[in-house]
């Protein structure tokens, strides 16, 4: 083989290796991005699960404490705002920090309204002994724990993605194809602990 042909083969081999490396890195970034979207879907599912429990919870409490209408109405209204906000957010709008902050704010508002409702329930021993209420209480406690776990997993997925697109030389590829840093889910202070929904004797 001539020297020129060997040089040409060498150049083509280098180009092939670089191309394969870029394709692999690109596909890796896409996989991490899809992981974020999947983790967000789980966050939404858990918040929806909580929203689905609230009408039964409110109806059960209302049966024993109908004159607590202000507290019950606050829960219903907070649920409506949270449900509406969940419908507005999507993987496409998820990276907008303002949108994510609004989502967090309405979910925190609902958590606060539920906490106030649980304080009210303390005044009604018959309600606290009601089997339907106890079952709802257990479901709500489990859901709050799942929300905490799903938020943590979402943040872990975002962290892995953000770290990858900032590493050299992947950062060059990320910039070329418009991959941008994703926003973390930053829960309010104390939100890393599930709201207390168990009741004393």
What does pTM read for this prediction? 0.81
Cβ contacts of 85 within 8 Å, gap of 6 or more: 102, 103, 106, 107
Between 113 and 200, name the one with better pLDDT: 113
Residue 149 has pLDDT above 60, yes or no: yes
Domains in the chain, CATH or no CATH each: 3-177 (1.20.1440.20)
Q: Is the pLDDT of residue 194 over 60?
A: no
Angle at which helix 97-121 crosses helix 69-88, to 10 degrees, equals 160
Above 60 in pLDDT, residue 75?
yes
How does the average pLDDT of the chain come out, rounded?
Answer: 87
pLDDT at 6: 84
Residue 156 CA to residue 172 CA, distance in Å, equals: 23
């Amino acid at each position: 083989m001539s020297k020129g042909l060997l040089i040409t083969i060498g150049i083509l081999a280098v180009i092939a290796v670089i191309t394969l490396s870029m394709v692999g890195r690109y596909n890796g970034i896409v996989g991490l991005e899809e992981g974020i979207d999947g983790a967000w879907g789980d966050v939404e599912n858990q918040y929806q699960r909580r929203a689905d429990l609230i009408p039964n919870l409110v109806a059960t409490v209302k049966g024993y404490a109908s004159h607590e209408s202000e507290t019950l109405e606050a829960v219903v209204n907070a649920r409506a705002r949270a449900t509406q906000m969940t419908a507005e957010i999507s993987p496409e709008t998820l990276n907008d920090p303002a949108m994510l902050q609004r989502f967090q704010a309405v979910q925190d508002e609902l958590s606060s309204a539920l906490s106030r409702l649980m304080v009210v329930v303390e005044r009604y021993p018959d309600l606290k002994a009601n089997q339907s209420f106890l079952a709802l209480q257990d479901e709500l406690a489990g859901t709050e724990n799942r929300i905490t776990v799903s938020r943590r997993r979402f943040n872990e997925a975002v962290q892995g993605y953000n770290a990858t697109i900032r590493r050299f030389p992947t950062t060059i590829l990320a910039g070329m194809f418009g991959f941008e840093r994703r926003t973390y889910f930053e829960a309010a202070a104390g939100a890393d602990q599930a709201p207390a929904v168990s009741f004393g004797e």
